[in-house]
Structure 1
């Protein structure tokens, strides 16, 4: 090959390399994937995502406004999505995935070789520039694979945002119910203290036995301890909510409503919830995308299993007293010891893992929806029974006891016992109402959210202050 034809061939090769490299070159997006994550979050929670940046002052002003008055459930969710640092750390993973996508669209840097040999009065110098041709030819496929991984990162970030919203909503209901129960526990303690004081006075004048006086004193002591526990539970629930909202300092002094929201007029129906979950569940979408990405990666592994190193480049050599020589160099890895079969087998096994995981995710999701709806409907029926039957009956019993006490038909201790039973019924009603709203949140998560396991139910502390006699 003549020097002129070699140079022409190398120029053609260099031009083709440049065209392919420029065509496969990728750049960073303006939003870094946040807009897609925000859209998926808003579809499932009604709240979008924003990160402090150029509009940091606007975000801070919105947070201040949310925490001015009593914080609603939606306000708590909004504050968490704006201010939770753990969520911000998760969203930073979008930048890592996008950087991998951009890197996959760029050709690897060429290698430069230089050698110099001298002896017997002669000096030989050789220079070479090597390009990775396999890496260049597989840029489109690698970009597609990394693009799917970037989409997976968006789904993971949206899943974490939706899960944070559900956890914050649960924490809000727990905190409001705990505060409401603590106030009722205060009423129990006051009633018990009055009963104990009355028993002490009556025992002093001989109108009450020592046994009855001891019973009233024991109840008063138990009511005081239950009040302390109820106050701690209210503090713990409030701090859990504060952690999820990411507030501290002056912002931690936020206030909450005095009572839980009322029950809806009718419960939701179970129609099409399973099919809706199959379309909206983020974990199912992530499992399907993972299987698709693994399938494409399997194609790449098969394509490069035999020829996984192929490099070509320009070489020139010069010797003392001789004209410079130009040419090209090709480096090919010979499949003598490794034919790529192990890599292909590993990719196939990995693909089957993702397929089975996707099928398992769908089965689990359907079961979670059925279980969540059962808990939702049961909690609604129980809360409605307390609201419509048990609490009104307790109130009626207390009113009838008061009438009989005024007519001197029952003793003051029977009147106090009925009043304590009424307060215990109200505490149980608070717990049932709280459980309904927690079950409603769990059902929403099972249908269109992350499908995370619901938080364990905790008994209303003040309900334990009900008298045992």
Structure 2
């Protein structure tokens, strides 16, 4: 429907529209939202994030990474390198620019449209010019800006969640890599001992002081130890490369120095008090779900506001005709709600809102369950690691000391002593695994409280310390 009226009414309308546009225009922020993301990440990981927008930023980050890798790597250093250098995280941080651009765009009125018409008949020529503005778009700028502002806040939370997730994965990869290296070094020692035992058995068999059966047993243990060394070396390489990928390093930087053993267990453990409440306050995925529900509610209000009339243009019209004075006026164009009353748009918005409400409730339920599960894994793994450290390994050492005394007193032979040493292999490996599992469980607990949840905890099976080889 077009309504044209030749009245000098446009000037105050245009001035009011210009005032609204100028006051409603949004602008880009100085930091692009990165400061908020860095603050959220630092609060949860102790490390900040950095977005490399230029080659100069990348060069500074590379220098910092090289400086951090010049010393033996710790878990915190590995996380710091990953937050500086991981390209996947950098891609996630770039999403902030996309969300902010949408926010700025939502605060600006759509460009006006210009039309020009010329009619000629005989000696008469009629020219009509018009400039049209989207009035509905102008009136809904506050609503659209509010929606995009919340979407920008969600983008910040999602970027921080990705940074916290990366920090958690890097810590777990670090402990896996150190444990795999520790196991590989230990298996090298086992193979050296098995090699000496096999050589001694061979020489004794050659002079008739050792049976072929016993010699075959020693040779079999040596062969098995050699296979275990190859397997442990490969596992160490796999774990190291997983850490390298998360840290985003390549070339000479991959020659990072890992310690020979895992950190000692802490003196005290985290308390379970208020851990669910803390998760509800800190979990980034829960905050994202809440913001999404709020944003969807705002969008529902916009859909209702424009449900019947969502196209309305008004503007200036100028017409000139041969032999007649120029005519000025304004024109209003409306979309008539004859076939579509906007009910489907409103119904869709309502359905999306209820979807977001249920997702928020689901996120809260999952967060509470995950933090309880993570805490159980944390305490259990701590108790197991402490049990191996304080009970199993000392008992095995005591047994070895007693066997050495009997050997020195010539009550047992060298092969009985070596057979006892082999029974310690499983105990030591289990102790290393228990210590590694504790540090991984501690990392997953922090992720369950602060981030978007850790990996699902694995059910713990029974594992006997067992005898690795029969005694002679």
Distance 1:456 1:320 in 2: 87
4+ residue runs of structure 1 moved beyond 6 angstroms? 455-459
Alignment of 1:30 with 2:30, yes or no, is yes
Alignment length, in residue pairs?
Answer: 463
Alignment of 1:167 with 2:169, yes or no, is yes
Out of 280-289 and 48-57, give the one that drifted further: 48-57
Distance 2:199 2:106 in 1: 80
Alignment of 1:67-82 (within 5 A): 67-82=69-84
Superposed CA deviations along residues 46-72 of structure 1, whole A, max 9, x for unmatched, are: 011123355555433322221111111
Per the alignment, residue 39 of structure 1 pairs with 39
Alignment of 1:301 with 2:303, yes or no, is yes
Distance 2:327 2:267 in 1: 90
**Which of 254, 258, 261 lines up with 1:259 in the alignment?**
261
Q: 1:328 to 1:347 in 2, by over 3 A?
A: same
Distance 1:4 1:244 in 2: 67
In the alignment, structure 2 segments of 5+ residues that lack a partner are: none
Distance 1:167 1:22 in 2: 46
Contact residue 377 and residue 457 of structure 2 kept, 8 A:
no
Per the alignment, residue 311 of structure 1 pairs with 313
Contact residue 383 and residue 432 of structure 1 kept, 8 A:
yes
SS of the residue 2:324 aligns to: coil
Contact residue 226 and residue 464 of structure 1 kept, 8 A:
no
In the alignment, structure 1 segments of 5+ residues that lack a partner are: none
TM-score by length of 2: 0.94
**Which of 217, 220, 225 lines up with 2:219 in the alignment?**
217
Superposed CA deviations along residues 4-45 of structure 1, whole A, max 9, x for unmatched, are: 9922x1000110110010011011000000000000000000
Distance 1:116 1:74 in 2: 73
**Which of 89, 92, 113 lines up with 1:90 in the alignment?**
92
What CA RMSD, in Å, does the superposition of the two structures yield over aligned residues? 2.0
Per the alignment, residue 125 of structure 1 pairs with 127
Superposed CA deviations along residues 168-227 of structure 1, whole A, max 9, x for unmatched, are: 100110111111100000011111111211221222222222222222211111110110
Distance 1:342 1:231 in 2: 62
Contact residue 145 and residue 293 of structure 1 kept, 8 A:
yes
Distance 1:4 1:277 in 2: 62
Per the alignment, residue 403 of structure 2 pairs with 401
Superposed CA deviations along residues 386-412 of structure 1, whole A, max 9, x for unmatched, are: 100110111111111111111121122
Contact residue 188 and residue 465 of structure 1 kept, 8 A:
no
Contact residue 185 and residue 465 of structure 1 kept, 8 A:
no
Distance 1:468 1:250 in 2: 46
SS of the residue 1:6 aligns to: coil
Distance 2:249 2:460 in 1: 24
Alignment of 1:25-424 (within 5 A): 25-52=25-52, 53=54, 56-424=58-426
SS of the residue 1:323 aligns to: strand
